Chains A and B, each alone.
Chain A
Amino acid sequence: AQRVTQPEKLLSVFKGAPVELKCNYSYSGSPELFWYVQYSRQRLQLLLRHISRESIKGFTADLNKGETSFHLKKPFAQEEDSAMYYCALSGQLGGYQKVTFGTGTKLQVIP
């Protein structure tokens, strides 16, 4: 079974403050982790994936297999970062992927 846990439903930070959105996962195989984001009135879209090791819009996320975590971080929050963030895990079975999402964290950046 694969499971993704996002413990915070809402995270409020002031503009310029650091952001950390928590994500923990459970998976018996080698996981592929993602962060998806949904801005107001837009569709769900990919923000970043762990295999790319890239920084998107200033966000980074490091896969920690020991702690089974994939926290999303940004050093300085901006108002346009306000959105719903979902952590997701892709598991493979027979060559086909099944992507499991967490319950999401709403990030609110206060001006």
Chain B
Amino acid sequence: DAGVTQSPTHLIKTRGQQVTLRCSPKSGHDTVSWYQQALGQGPQFIFQYYEEEERQRGNFPDRFSGHQFPNYSSELNVNALLLGDSALYLCASSLVRTLSRELFFGEGSRLTVL
């Protein structure tokens, strides 16, 4: 089991561009959550997907959107990039109906906006 995998690992964009980040959850997991981690900060919750729908959302603008596919993989899209969007984007997978509530994290995609 490869665990949670994310791509790309690093990318550089310029202001105003759009970016798509991808995540494959741990085998057997059905829920994907996305987090933004700025330098020196803890992970900030962006949103959570289950059954191909957004179920919970953090305090992020509509420029941040996502998608979940039937195979449970997920994408995070960010439009009209700002310098402040530079961060490590983490994907975490879990099982919605479990007592464990443990999140399994990927290694992240580091986005730099110039």
Q: Which residues of A contact B (CB under 8 A)?
A: 4, 6, 9, 32, 34, 36, 43-46, 49, 51, 86, 90, 93-104
Contacts and interface: CB of A to CB of B under 8 A. Distances in A.
A43 B106 contact: yes
Interface string B81-114: 0000000001010101001111111111000000
Interface size, B (range): 20 to 34
Contacts, number: 61
B62 to A, nearest CB: 18
Interface of B: 4, 31, 33, 35, 40-45, 48, 50, 55-56, 58, 90, 92, 94, 96, 99-108
A4 B41 CA distance: 12
Contacts of B31: 96
B32 to A, nearest CB: 12
Contact of A98 (B45, B96, B105, B108): B45
A19 B43 CA distance: 23
Contacts of B105: 43-45
21 contacts: A4-B42, A34-B102, A43-B105, A44-B90, A44-B105, A45-B105, A49-B101, A49-B102, A51-B99, A93-B56, A95-B96, A96-B50, A96-B55, A96-B56, A98-B58, A99-B45, A101-B42, A101-B44, A103-B41, A103-B42, A104-B41
